[in-house]
Structure 1
Amino acid sequence: MGVTVVPAAAHADVVAHWHMDEGSDASVMVDSASAGGQNNGTIVNVTTGVAGLVSGKAYSFSGETPYIEVPDHDSLDPGNAPITLTATVRTVNAPMPDDSYDVVRKGYTDTKGGDWKMEIKRNPNNHSIGRLHCSFKGVMPTGKRRTVARVAQVDIVDGRTHTLECRRTATAVHAVVDGRVFTNAKASGNISNREPVIVGAKMKGDDVLQGTLDEVIIDIG
């Protein structure tokens, strides 16, 4: 594992793009990439319509209850294909009150068919430090599940805006913070599950993001 240079994802196959440009008191997070709103999300206790981190508007998360749920859809499962998760985040100042802030995920540790997630993981020895953690668990050809994860060695719980990427290829997982790339060169297998996508939390009341979120993108292929 180490720092390497990986070309930026082309986003040629964007399956979900949530601009988060909805106004205040919005109830639906609109996906601009899918037909018929199949990857729209239900907004729960999230403050919408705040100043955008990239452009337009963004969402603000605080407290214990906000999250967004996007129903399961086959377009959100990579199978064996490459997948890139992208988000722009500005956290509130540390220390982190929970062990992680989940940014976007599909599935859980025990989910049949594997899972993928982007989160900000708290340093166990210093709760004022939080780092991007990318994790992809898939089913290998042997039938066994394998988790391949990488932590980017950059503190991002600093009240500043950061662009985060979690990239899974056929042979590696890359955690990318503002263009700095950290790699774990292992294959992670086939990922396909029946769980919804959760944005801004692990689930209601658990690992809730504390800060502002903008421009979340899922790119497969």
Structure 2
Amino acid sequence: MRSCWFGAALVAVSTVAVALTVNPLPAHAPLAAPPVALAATPDKAAGTTPAVGAGGVVVARYAFNGRAGSIIDESGRGHTLRVISGHGGAVRRVVHGQGSALAFPGRCTARVCPHVALQTATSSADLNPGTRNIAFGAEVMLTPGQTSKGQNIVQKGYSTTSSQWKLQIDGAAGRPSCVLVDEKRPPIRMATSSVSVADGQWHSVECRRVATNLFVLVNGYLRGRTTIPAKLSITNDRPMSIGGKGAYADNDQFNGALDNVWVQIG
């Protein structure tokens, strides 16, 4: 395993989408923060509205517009990300809107593949929601040919060894799903989207835990839900990871591009 840092130069990413251009880098755009009050969002297909709560604090957010070095947490909470990699894995900066996004290694079926993830250096208590409401999301871009059995967008903790919250892309269909795992009762609670995001276009994807409900939203519309125990608690000493579990082989590598990752608790 080795560490690597992404630099200032933009690199072409043929495995992500032809729409990603490389020159020049536009002026930095401010990150559009998730809503502090979680407003009710209608389900475009079903015409239903999830019951969501108000309040909450943004505890981490990343716009990926920095020129070099570590990836700064723009929430002000200090959750700086480092890039960890193996077998030549690296993240590459690409233009997205008025700023930049990060592209991860493309799908690989070889015996040894590049792996890379972004991780907080250490765990922090304010990334553990306990039994409180939590919302987390990102903007993602993934082509149909880059799907796999499972790709992690953002997570904290592991389902088999600790509690967990996670946003991922599942299966060849490329459907987002949201996962919560209690610290003492290990069954995985999952809400899976009814629609895919693997079409080569940018999409916003979001998970919301509100009381006994877990919702998954795509482009602001409710696309899946499940019921969870009211006392489900998520507290662990693991780092938060973006784009994969780590730099080892079984890391559920994300194979597209990510932007504007955020976490809100409360």
Q: Normalising to structure 1: TM-score of the pair?
A: 0.84
Secondary structure of the residue that 1:66 maps to in structure 2? strand
> What is the distance in 2 between the residues matched to 1:216 and 1:8?
20
Query: Residue 101 of structure 1 corresponds to which residue in structure 2?
Result: 151
CA apart distance, 1:12? 4.1
1:90 and 2:133 aligned: no
Query: Residue 105 of structure 2 corresponds to which residue in structure 1?
Result: 62
Contact 2:159 2:188 (8 Å CA) reproduced: no
> What is the distance in 2 between the residues matched to 1:77 and 1:33?
16
> What is the distance in 1 between the residues matched to 2:103 and 2:51?
31
> What is the distance in 1 between the residues matched to 2:169 and 2:190?
13
Q: Which runs of 5+ in 2 are unaligned?
A: 1-44, 107-113
CA apart distance, 1:197? 0.8
Secondary structure of the residue that 2:126 maps to in structure 1? helix
1:144 and 2:185 aligned: yes
CA RMSD of superposed structures (Å): 2.2
1:22 and 2:72 aligned: no
Q: Which runs of 5+ in 1 are unaligned?
A: none
* 130-139 or 2-11, larger mean C-alpha shift: 2-11
> What is the distance in 1 between the residues matched to 2:252 and 2:187?
23
Query: Residue 219 of structure 2 corresponds to which residue in structure 1?
Result: 178
> What is the distance in 1 between the residues matched to 2:170 and 2:181?
17
CA apart distance, 1:149? 0.8
Query: Residue 215 of structure 1 corresponds to which residue in structure 2?
Result: 260
Report the CA distance shift for 1:49/1:135 in structure 2 as closer, same or farther (over 3 A): same
> What is the distance in 2 between the residues matched to 1:89 and 1:11?
25
> What is the distance in 2 between the residues matched to 1:34 and 1:72?
16
Identity of aligned residues (%): 26
> What is the distance in 1 between the residues matched to 2:239 and 2:203?
25
Q: Which protein has greater RCO, CA pairs closer than 8 Å, 6+ apart? A: 1
> What is the distance in 2 between the residues matched to 1:85 and 1:18?
12
Count of paired positions: 205
Q: Normalising to structure 2: TM-score of the pair?
A: 0.71
1:41 and 2:90 aligned: no
CA apart distance, 1:18? 0.9
CA apart distance, 1:9? 7.5
Question: Which structure shows the higher strand fraction?
Answer: 1
Q: Please tell me whether Structure 1 or Structure 2 has the larger radius of gyration of its CA atoms.
A: 2
1:161 and 2:185 aligned: no
CA apart distance, 1:179? 1.9
Instruction: Tell me which stretches of 4 or more aligned residues in structure 1 moved more than 6 Å.
Output: 7-11
CA apart distance, 1:34? 2.9
Q: Which amino acid aligns with 1:60?
A: A
CA apart distance, 1:10? 6.2
Contact 1:173 1:184 (8 Å CA) reproduced: yes
Contact 2:146 2:256 (8 Å CA) reproduced: no
Q: Deviations over 1:90-149 (max 9, x none)?
A: 0133252x311100011112223x111100001xxxx3x11001000114xxx5334321
Contact 1:46 1:59 (8 Å CA) reproduced: no
Secondary structure of the residue that 2:174 maps to in structure 1? strand
Contact 2:164 2:180 (8 Å CA) reproduced: yes
